Structure 1
Amino acid sequence: MLRDPPVRSRRRVQNAVGFLAVMLVAIFLACGFATAEIVGRSPRVLILHPYDEWLPASAIAGDNARERLQEATAGKIDLFSEYLDLSRFPEPAHIDRMARYMAEKYFDHRPDVVIALGESATRFIVSNREAIAPDAKIVFCGFGRDSGSKLNLPAGVVGAFSEFDIAKTLELARALQPDAENLFIIGGSAAFDRTWLDSARTDLAAASKDYATTYLEDYSINEFVERASHFPPDSIVLFLTILADSTGRNFLPKDALGIVAAKASAPIYGPYDTYIGQGVVGGNSVTFESLGNAVAGLALDALAGKPITDIEVPQTFFADARQLKRWGLSESALPAETALSFREPTLWEQHGDLVAGAIALVALQALIITGLLFERRRRFAAEGESRLRLLELVHMNQSATAGALSASIAHELNQPLGAILSNAEAAEAILKGKTPDLNIIQQILADIKDDDQRAGNIILRLRGLLKKRNAIDWQEFDLNEVVDSSINILHAEAEKRRVVVSAEKPGHRLPVRADRVHLQQVILNLATNAMDAMTDASTIDRKLTFHAALHDDAKVELSISDTGHGIPKNRLDSVFDAFYTTKSTGTGLGLSIARAIVETYGGKIWADNRAGGGAVFRFVLPLAEAA
């Protein structure tokens, strides 16, 4: 702490030039207090603690008062603190010694303001004011008006009154435990403890009638613990203070509370917010931070020469979220504006920005996904529409193919029908004889049956070409079989055009997965185009060759080659374009439809020219096992 300057130095300061004095006055006024009575030095404030430095109540209030005084004066203030230790040394002899000691200590450093924290400190400074701080203004805090009236405070001693109302603490307990039937009040053996017990008996006289009420006092700490461990579950326990137990052992009240609460079998409540974290569920109190701020405000006004009057520091409810959880008490039952400590912050409170960002991101993703699903639905609808149009085109192409092959098909159909007629006439002539040969009749009937089957197969193939469908008929089948059936359909037309048809096939299956009729249509389109390309070739050179084989062990390849005039090199990439044709009567859709069908089933189709002349069309499809 700072000391006063020597006498000669003080006189030189007092006789300094006028502008320096004016500047000092301006500085002190800017700090919030007047300087007419304090010239040449910083103001002095003595903060008087009633007990030792470990008592949380006065320590918190004193620290907050110091902080506010330092902040308001920008540090231009001398602050002193004294600890009277009246809890452990309440004897008059000790009080007299402390008064003499402080009178001598502050003889040359008289305080301008004394802040008394609590009733005991206020009583001490009022009784010894003339010896310690004869010219100081006294402000106090830490007790209520009833206690203040008993002190017979002289005029000019002003305080921040606070009511530590134990009835309000019971009100909180009643809200949390509406079904409780027992009430226990715990207090120690020190003078301050007994004062608390007396106040509780008065303040709880009416409310305690609703319970089986028991006051626990004059016990040792071990006896308190033993009683606490056997409280009935439907009990409310009010812990006042234990500054000393019946054996004379001294405690900080919060430490004694912690010892008792650790073994308690029922929830405990208390009238000090410093009990939070020591085992109490909650209570009602004036916070010691607010006491320190309030009494510091009175001290600043006193230093500034302003008139000061008594003020009231408001109370507040407080609670410990961990103890609520421990005892299964509902947080929703707490009074409004309760200060809740140790509550686990929600995810939003901990990571609000992150959660908001995540929500925004999820919302954006949901919007994108919704848009994609909408587009996917539209794409599926478009693909469905495209497939439907493809099926219609395929059907039209099938009808056109059937029309183109109709003469050949009719010719081919006439053969079994003519054979049937001839066999029927022969059978009729034999039956008119006197001794018909039944063996011959049986052979004729077998021939009729075979020809009928042949005619039925021709009609069945024609029906397959003409059948219209609205969906793909996915099947797994051997490509060799489709090649054979296609050759059967083309047989009559090939004979008519004097085209030699041959097929080179492996000795094993070539399983693919597709629509059988669609692949047949691809083969027919390629084959009929090949036969058209050989119209100008000599009859002995008209050869149509089918070659089926495995391709890269995972695909099936079918090539259809002819001995026609081939395809111009600059047209190889265009032959599969829609409406491209070199025939005067062609539509230009056959090869385009063939490519669409092959690609629908995961394949690829292309055209080349043969080295010996003519063209070759190839397509590959995935093996069914690989697919």
Structure 2
Amino acid sequence: MNPRWRISRILGCVLSVISWLISASVAIGVEPKSEVVVLFSSDTGLPATEAIRRGFRAVLHPNDDNGPDLYEEYLDAARFPGPAHLKAMASLLEAKYSGRPVDVVVALGPTALEFARQRKEKLFPGAKLVFAGIREERAGKLILPPDSFGIVSKLDPVETLKLALDLQPKARQGFIITGSASFDKSWEAIARTKLASFEPRLSLTFLAGLPLESVLERVSALPPDSIVIHLSMFEDGTGRTFVPREVAGKIASAANAPVYSVYDTYIGQGIVGGYMDTFDAVGLAVGSLVQKILAGEQPTGGAIREAETHKFVVDWRQMARWTLNAANLPQGTEIRFREPSVWDQYKSYILAFTAVLLLQSALLILGEIRSRKLAGQLAGESKERMEMAVTSADIGLWNWNAKSDTVWTSERCKELLMLDGRASLTRDEFIDRLRAPDRPLALKRMADALASGVPCIAEYPIDLPDGSERWILSRALAKGGYKDKGPRDHILGVVMDITERKRNEDAIRESEERYRVLAETASDAIITIDRKSVILFANPAAEKIFGHAVSEMLGNDLTMLMPDYLRRVHQVSVDRYLGNGERHISWEGVELPGLHKDGSLIPLELSFAEYISDGERRFTGIVRNVSDRKRAEEELRESEERYRNVVETQSELICRYRPDTTLTFVNDAYCRYFNRSRRDLVGAKWVDLIPQPARAAVLRHMKSIIAHAHTVSYEHEVQRPDGTVGWQHWTDRVILDADGGVVEIQGVGRDLTELRQAESEAVRHRQELAHLTRVSVVGALSGALAHELNQPLTAILSNAQAAVRLISRDPVDAVEIGQILQDIVDDDKRAGHVIQHLRSLLKKDSAIRTRIQVNDLITVSLAICHSDLILKGVPVSQRLAADLPEIDADPVQIQQVLLNLIMNACEAMNGKPAKDRLLLIKSERRDALLRISVVDSGDGIPAEAIKELYQPFFTTKSLGLGLGLPICKWIIEAHGGRLAAKNNSGGGATFFIELPIAEEQRHDRPVSDSVFG
């Protein structure tokens, strides 16, 4: 064998074995990927959601091949609030992840955290919990399962408001915007608590839970020097849902004051900035935390730690829009969208250009000394350097030679004017880049420049291919020959892009126009004065308030609008302020009288501020005529006095109280009822006057009143001064604030104790009457009952005598004697049942309800009447439905009604031949009711008696009292049922009893007709 071939085979085998070993080791070392489930509180459309998702994916999935398996689930709680949706999501996730070894669950946002906290062990058993997107205020209240780690965010409206005040030190009013979703309301509560310390330095107004259109309308007409803080609006007052970032853009566009926030996703939508967490950074922090946990490391900083991602962030464009001074920004503020100045961008080029110019000057001087030839050579070189310098400085050059009608342009000039690449153009071709209306003026300016030699400066718009425009500044100067000594035959020019400057100028003009429109349309007077109190500006509203024409006020002293005593102190106060800054009066919302042109005094409310214009100190004030308000206040005082007089003289109890039941007002009648002074009652909680067992029901009722903000009437027990329990009837009406919140509740009440006692007495009398009626029924059935008792007693006697005879025989027949004794027992039980039913009818106990079968009750009642029916010759037919549900009722009272109706039916058939008599008893179900029908074949009910049938003491019987049917009706209605009667088409009458089925036995059934409609 060839040795070389053998060596090759050996090497091949070795390589194969090595390859197999490597593959095996790799296969053995492969571990299953970790699994991470990420729960988002919202949907995929929220910018904050996408930012956080971007951040943690950048850490956990730097490429598609590495990292754990990520599963993302969106709870969408903002659009689908409520436990039903979350329960459905839990069922879906349980089915989806059942049996999967999830290592980490990431909950982003409060809803996701609460969802995971309650269901983690069921949905993701053994998984560690990581959470983020939780405010630090909420973190302290969390009760978390073991193996939970979180990053809390500091979304601080306090620091944001401090930033706003640093940028707007003259601001006096703040407007806080939140929506009506539960998340929005939590922000409102935090802001109300944390920002309260800024008052009275800053008057705060909360635009909370309003329709978005109302918010936009409010922020478009805010007072001067206002601050707007937009926190969150997932839902507005009409129930519409939004993406808060989009709402921020609408608010910033509509507002006439700077808007701030705590969310960095709002940056770029028109807000100035704020103290905020960057959601991308939060995502990176979450990703790093999950990465450590999956690697088996213990996270540092504790289970819950504060994110180090918050800082001040501002939008440079909005700073410029509102002319806010960047020098007032806190150190370390992140400035976004900052556009560097020409100096910042081209500092090195400008310096180089300057150096080139200096070098050029030196070369020109040197060239003048040497020779014109050398000067020409150097001039050519200088031209090249000039082109390089101006190109670096973003300036375009052009040169028109009038003799040859050629225009040379630099590359930058071609770019700015959108020229083609030709080396030279004619003048007309050069001018054609301008808009048609501007071309004649441009040609005239060039001609004038050649004729006069005066520099020409002009601004022109250029249309761009995309439909937008670019503004160009052109500076041109006509020149002659060498050393400019010959006739002017060419024009040198530079062009610059001034589009951004024009936009800023347009914005300033729009702002000034808005101010002008605001001033001219405002209902309040706006007046500006200088340091000597000379009126420099007054709007039309000032003319309406003071009666002077605007032309009469301009140039005159402000004191012309003041009464004498204010004139004497006004200028002294102004001079003192200008000298040492001491204010004589408040500058915000001060009330002073003004002087009308006709000499009358006007009540005014003034707010004014100082500003600098052209280096001069000036003062602008807003003056409001509060005559109507003063008149309304006076009328309100008079109305309140009249109200108090009326209230104090009322016999009814009147009070006002806060939502927590703390009394704020009680009238004399209220004090007399509880035998306590007004001082003792005001400040106390009226719920303490309710007996303890009744308080829970009353408090539930109170919550309903506050939640629905409506007027309601209700009754409840009270503890009377003598220790007894009384009853009161109250009608409560809620009093709302401007935002629709419940401020107080006013109640008007009256004592119902005597009425309740009378009702109880009436019930007692009815029960006694019902008992007497039962006694009378038993009396009427006495003969039949005697017969019913006589039968079993006779049978017992006969059987006992037979047993005596059998015992005397020999041998004794034990079997037959046993049968006789069993008959005696049965007859005894039969007699006992009759006596028991008789006792139940005669007993005078309180009604006791129990579950009963209607058919059993009918059977027992017919058994009691059995003998009476036979004696009266009335056959009975029964149509009792099977499997009827039970009812909750007092069996004695229902039996009393049945016996009464059966006896009435028998009496109604007395005049009929025996063959025509028939008593029919039916039972059936009608929806949630059971119906018992008692049908007779008598003469029916007279038409005139139908309406009077249930009136007490009305009867169609010669010896009747007229109380049987009224008592029956009262019994049935007390059981929640109804009693009715009708004449049969074939003769006779039918009485119907309808009683409700026991609650838990009701089932959905087709609707059927009822005699009660």
**TM-score, normalised via structure 2 length:** 0.33
Partner secondary structure for residue 337 of structure 1: coil
Which residue, 308, 311, 323 being the options, matches 2:305? 311
In structure 2, distance between residues paired with 1:188 and 1:110? 40
Distance 1:21 1:223, change over 3 A: farther
Over 3 Å counting, the alpha-carbon distance change for 1:104 and 1:281 in structure 2 is: same
1:346 equivalent in structure 2: 341
Match of 1:141 among 112, 128, 132: 132
Q: How does 1:267-282 map to 2 (within 5 A)?
A: 267-282=258-273
Matched, 1:178 2:173: no
Contact 1:62 1:117 (C-alpha < 8 Å) held by counterparts? no
Deviations 1:390-411 (A, max 9, x none): xxxxxxxxxxxxxxxxxxxxxx
Partner Cα separation in structure 2 for residue 226 and residue 119 of structure 1 = 32
CA apart distance, 1:326: 2.0
Question: Which of 286, 302, 320 is equivalent to 2:315?
Answer: 320
Could you report, residue by residue, the CA deviation over 1:45-76 in whole angstroms, capped at 9, with x for unpaired residues? 12211011111112211121112111289624
Matches within 5 A, 1:289-438: 289-308=280-299, 309=302, 310-314=304-308, 315-347=310-342, 350=345, 352=346, 356-357=348-349, 359-360=351-352, 362-364=354-356, 366-367=358-359, 369-370=361-362, 372-373=364-365, 376=368
CA shift, 1:325, in A, is 2.0
SS in 2 for 1:239: strand
**1:262 Cα offset (Å):** 1.9
Residues 102 and 184 (structure 1), Cα distance of their counterparts in 2 relative to 1, 3 Å cut:
same
Structure 2 Cα separation of the partners of residues 24 and 293 of structure 1:
32
Q: Using the TM superposition, give the Cα deviation of residue 103 of structure 1 relative to its aligned residue in structure 2, in angstroms.
A: 1.4
The answer to whether 1:93 aligns with 2:107 is: no
Alignment of 1:489-508 (within 5 A): none
Give, in angstroms, the shift of residue 332 of structure 1.
2.1
- Following superposition of structure 1 onto structure 2, how do residues 189-228 of structure 1 map, counting pairs within 5 Å? 189-228=180-219
Q: Equivalent residue for 1:578?
A: none
What is the alpha-carbon distance in structure 2 between the residues aligned to residue 63 and residue 103 of structure 1?
27
Corresponding residue of 1:158: 149
Secondary structure of the corresponding residue to residue 71 of structure 1? coil
CA–CA distance in 2 between the matches of 1:339 and 1:277?
13
CA distance in 1, matches of 2:129, 2:27: 26
Change (3 A) 1:259 1:364: closer
1:18-51 CA-partner distances (Å, limit 9, x unpaired)? 966864797xxxxxxxxxxxx6322111221101
Q: Secondary structure at the match of 2:199?
A: helix
CA contact (8 A) 1:318 1:341 kept: yes
1:44 aligns with 2:35: yes
Match of 1:363, SS? helix
Amino acid in the other structure paired with 2:305: I
Residue 535 of structure 2: aligned partner = none
SS at match of 2:196: coil
In 1, the alpha carbon distance for the partners of 2:254 and 2:137 equals 35
Q: Is the 8 A contact 1:50 1:117 kept in 2?
A: yes
Task: Give the greater-gyration-radius structure (CA).
Answer: 1
CA distance in 1: counterparts of 2:221 and 2:353, whole angstroms: 55
The answer as to whether partners of 2:60 and 2:291 remain within 8 angstroms in 1 is yes
Q: Tell me the distance in 2 between the aligned counterparts of 1:256 and 1:45.
A: 33
- Tell me the CA shift for residue 132 of structure 1: 2.0
Q: Compare relative contact order (CA 8 Å, sep 6+) and give the higher one, 1 or 2.
A: 1
Query: After superposition, what is the alpha-carbon deviation per residue over 1:337-375, rounded to whole angstroms, capped at 9, x for unaligned?
Result: 22222222333555x5xx635633542452353255257
Question: What amino acid maps onto 2:111 in structure 1?
Answer: S
Instruction: Tell me the distance in 2 between the aligned counterparts of 1:255 and 1:375.
Output: 66
Q: 1:84 aligns with which of 75, 81, 84?
A: 75
Give the letter aligned to residue 352 of structure 2: A
1:187–1:239 contact (8 Å) kept in structure 2: yes
Distance 1:362 1:255, change over 3 A: same
Q: Does the aligned pair in 2 maintain the 1:183–1:208 contact within 8 Å?
A: no
**Which sections of structure 1, spanning at least 5 residues, go unmatched?**
1-16, 27-38, 381-627
Per-residue deviation, 1:223: 1.1
3-state SS of 1:216 partner: strand
1:560-612, Cα deviation, whole Å (9 max, x unpaired)? xxxxxxxxxxxxxxxxxxxxxxxxxxxxxxxxxxxxxxxxxxxxxxxxxxxxx
In 1, Cα distance between equivalents of 2:295 and 2:255: 51
Quick one: distance in 2 between partners of 1:358 and 1:327?
30
- The 5-angstrom pairing of residues 456-605 of structure 1 reads none
Report Cα offsets for 1:471-503 as digits up to 9, x if no partner. Answer: xxxxxxxxxxxxxxxxxxxxxxxxxxxxxxxxx
After superposition, the C-alpha distances for 1:253-276 in whole angstroms (9 at most, x for unaligned) are 111222222221211111101111
Structure richer in strand, relative to its length: 2
Distance 1:287 1:25, change over 3 A: farther
Cα pair distance change 1:106/1:182, threshold 3 Å: same
Q: Distance in 1 between matches of 2:68 and 2:344?
A: 40
Secondary structure in 2 matching 1:173: helix
Give 1:66's aligned amino acid. R
Matches of 1:319 and 1:274, distance apart in 2: 12
Q: CA separation in 1, counterparts of 2:47 and 2:27?
A: 38
Question: Which secondary structure state, in structure 1, belongs to the residue aligned with residue 228 of structure 2?
Answer: strand
Following the alignment from structure 1 to structure 2, what is the Cα–Cα distance between the partners of residues 212 and 241? Answer: 21
Task: Map 1:67-146 onto structure 2 (within 5 A).
Answer: 67-71=58-62, 75-146=66-137
**Deviation, structure 1 residue 86:** 0.8
- Please say if residues 343 and 350 of structure 2, whose CA atoms lie closer than 8 Å, have aligned partners that are also in contact: no
Question: 1:240 aligned to 227, 231, 238, which one?
Answer: 231
- Aligned to 1:370, the other structure's residue is in SS state helix
Pair 225,78 (structure 1): closer, same or farther in 2 beyond 3 Å? same
Matching residue of 2:573: none
Q: Which amino acid aligns with 1:313?
A: A
- Is the Cα contact below 8 Å between 1:143 and 1:164 reproduced in 2? no
CA–CA distance in structure 2, aligned partners of residues 127 and 274 of structure 1? 30
* Matched residue, 1:59: 50
Q: Give the secondary-structure state (helix, strand or coil) at the position aligned to 1:317.
A: strand
Distance in 1 (CA, whole Å) between partners of 2:324 and 2:117 is 46
Measured in 2, the distance between the counterparts of 1:262 and 1:375 equals 60
Percent sequence identity over aligned pairs: 39
RMSD, aligned CA: 2.5
Unpaired segments ≥5 residues, structure 2 = 1-19, 373-1013
C-alpha distance 332-135 of structure 1, shift in aligned 2 (>3 A): same
Number of aligned positions between the proteins: 349
| In structure 2, C-alpha distance between the alignment counterparts of 1:219 and 1:131, rounded to whole Å | 40
- In the alignment, the residues of structure 2 paired with residue 280 and residue 242 of structure 1 have an alpha-carbon distance, to the nearest angstrom, of 15
State the distance in 2 between where 1:154 and 1:241 align: 30
| Mapped partners of 1:216, 1:102: distance in 2 | 39
| Contact map agreement 2:78 2:234 (CA 8 A) in 1 | yes
Amino acid at match of 1:333: N
Distance 1:358 1:205 in 2: 52
Q: Distance in 1 between matches of 2:57 and 2:348?
A: 41
Is residue 60–residue 67 contact of structure 2 (8 Å, CA) maintained in 1?
no
